[in-house]
């Protein structure tokens, strides 16, 4: 398999910024948000394809982009669809039928997913500058794992981008990697690209191709992973709360867990530790420490011996969430 990798960039438009952090090998930066209700932007002229709003959690099929005028709901570099799926030829957006090119998966899992989609349309041979929009309904506020079924065989690194649009303001950007496959019709299913938090309500997903190289892309899976704020990229740092951070979580020799944090305000700091399902494992309240020194809280019970733990820290209007691992 070619070692080059295209990139998936996610831009989330929502109520407020909870955080941005880099993610190890994937160099991903994602955003979190509060669990407020979001709606379609005022004046948006598009409607869900065939009146069927796609739902999250669930699978968003990229061939089922919204109905509506060009340059407001969709844009395609080519004036006419060059491929075999003709159900939406009036738009010019490139759509192909799965199976027309001898499609198969580069892995056993991907091959099974491709076979399940034989005869169905997918977004085909995308060009730089193409974009499409999708009306989606987020049924449960919280953090979602993202996965994608895609194929790309170019040696140049292609770029794709997705944006969640609502009536809220911009919250920032993020970037993720997707693998190059061995051939344009050889597919791969990339799990857990990253995690991001979504508000409830009907919103608009925009999918962009801003970079080099064509791709075939069938769908994006949004799997619920837990309460809002668990972005899977490390601690978040919300706008309006500078200096508020979870510094480290350390297991002591007696089995207790010491939390060190920074909270520069004068108010008491509220702290919760919970697992990925949102179950609260331990909580506490502490007063700010002396200037320049970290705050400390010891958890005596409730936390697992090892594994993934999320820590939420609140002080006044500020809020941050850290994702950390406890080691025996």
pLDDT averaged over 10-residue windows placed end to end, the chain, 328 residues: 43 30 23 49 92 95 96 88 86 93 92 96 87 91 82 66 52 51 87 73 82 80 75 37 70 84 77 74 75 76 76 75 70
Q: Examine residue 1 and state whether it is found in any structural domain, yes or no.
A: no
- 294 Cβ contact list (under 8 Å, min separation 6): 247, 260, 261, 262
pLDDT for the residue 165:
59
> Whole-angstrom Cα distance, residue 13 to residue 161?
13
Last residue of a domain, one of 166, 196, 226: 226
Cα 244-13-202 angle, rounded to 5 deg: 120
Give the long-range contacts of residues 107-112, CB within 8 A, separation 24 or more.
107/188, 107/189, 109/189, 110/149, 110/187, 110/188, 110/189, 111/187
Question: Could you tell me if 61 and 148 lie in one domain?
Answer: yes
Phi and psi, residue 84, nearest 5°: -80, -20
Question: Quick check: is 236 in a domain?
Answer: no
Half-sphere exposure of 263 (CA within 13 A, CB side): 28
**What one-character DSSP code corresponds to residue 35?**
S
Q: Are residues 280 and 139 in the same domain?
A: no
Q: How many residues does the chain have?
A: 328
pLDDT at position 77: 83
275 lies in some domain: yes
Rounded CA Rg of the chain: 22
| 10 Rama sector, left if φ>0, alpha if ψ -120 to 50, beta otherwise | beta
Q: What is the C-alpha separation between 14 and 11, in angstroms, rounded?
A: 10
- Within 8 A by CB and 6+ apart from 43, the residues are none
Are 205 and 322 part of one and the same domain? Answer: no
Residue 114 parent element (H or E): helix 108-116
Residue 141 lies in a domain: yes
Residues 185 and 217 in one domain: yes
Do 316 and 170 sit in the same domain of this protein? no
Residue 119 has a pLDDT of 96
Q: 181 and 320 share a domain?
A: no
State the pLDDT at residue 105: 92
Place of tokens 């993020």: 174
Structural domain including 85 reads 7-226
With contact defined as beta carbons under 8 Å apart, do 6 and 158 qualify? yes
Domain total in the chain: 2
Whether 125 and 73 map to the same domain: the answer is yes
User: Hunting for tokens 């970079």 — which residue is that?
Assistant: 211
Q: Please indicate, yes or no, whether residues 170 and 310 belong to a single structural domain of this protein.
A: no
Of 222, 212, 213, 209, whose CA–CA distance to 93 is shortest?
209
| C-beta atoms surrounding 20 within 10 Å | 20
Q: Same structural domain for residues 40 and 189?
A: yes
Task: Among 226, 256, 290, give the residue marking a domain's end.
Answer: 226
In a domain, 239, yes or no: no
Supply the CATH number for residue 147's domain: 2.60.120.260
Is position 171 within any domain? yes
Residues 120 and 269 in one domain: no
**The domain that contains 270 carries what CATH number?**
2.60.40.3080
Predicted model pTM: 0.62
Question: Does 235 fall in a domain?
Answer: no
Q: Based on the domain organization, do 26 and 154 belong to the same domain?
A: yes
The last residue of one of the domains, among 226, 261, 276, is 226
Domain assignment of residue 232, yes or no: no
Say yes or no: 148 and 94 in one domain. yes
């Amino acid at each position: 398999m070619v070692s080059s990798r295209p990139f998936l960039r996610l831009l989330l438009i929502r109520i407020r910024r909870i955080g941005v952090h880099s993610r190890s090998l994937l160099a991903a930066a994602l955003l979190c948000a509060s669990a407020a209700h979001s709606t379609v932007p005022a004046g948006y002229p598009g409607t869900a394809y065939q009146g069927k709003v796609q739902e999250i959690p669930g699978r968003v099929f990229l061939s089922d982009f919204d109905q509506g005028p060009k340059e407001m709901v969709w844009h395609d570099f080519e004036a006419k669809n060059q491929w075999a799926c003709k159900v939406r030829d009036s738009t010019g957006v490139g759509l192909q039928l799965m199976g027309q090119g001898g499609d198969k998966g580069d892995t056993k899992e991907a091959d099974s997913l491709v076979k399940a989609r034989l005869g169905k349309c997918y977004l085909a041979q995308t060009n730089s500058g193409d974009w499409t929009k999708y009306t989606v309904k987020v049924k449960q506020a919280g953090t979602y794992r993202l996965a994608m079924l895609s194929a790309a065989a170019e040696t140049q690194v292609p770029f794709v981008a997705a944006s969640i649009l609502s009536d809220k303001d911009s919250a920032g950007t993020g970037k993720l990697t997707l693998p190059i496959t061995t051939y344009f019709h050889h597919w791969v299913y990339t799990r857990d690209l990253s995690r991001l938090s979504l508000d409830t309500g009907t919103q608009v997903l925009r999918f962009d191709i801003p970079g080099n190289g064509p791709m075939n892309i069938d769908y994006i899976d949004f799997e619920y992973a837990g309460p809002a704020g668990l972005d899977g990229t490390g601690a978040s740092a919300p706008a309006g709360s500078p200096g508020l951070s979870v510094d480290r979580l350390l297991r002591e020799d007696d089995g207790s867990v010491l939390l060190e944090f920074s909270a520069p305000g004068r108010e008491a700091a509220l702290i919760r530790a919970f697992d990925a399902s949102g179950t609260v494992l331990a909580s506490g309240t502490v007063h700010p420490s002396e200037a320049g020194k970290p705050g400390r809280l010891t958890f005596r019970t409730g936390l697992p011996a090892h594994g993934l733990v999320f820590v939420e820290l609140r002080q006044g209007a500020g809020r941050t969430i850290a994702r950390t691992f406890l080691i025996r």
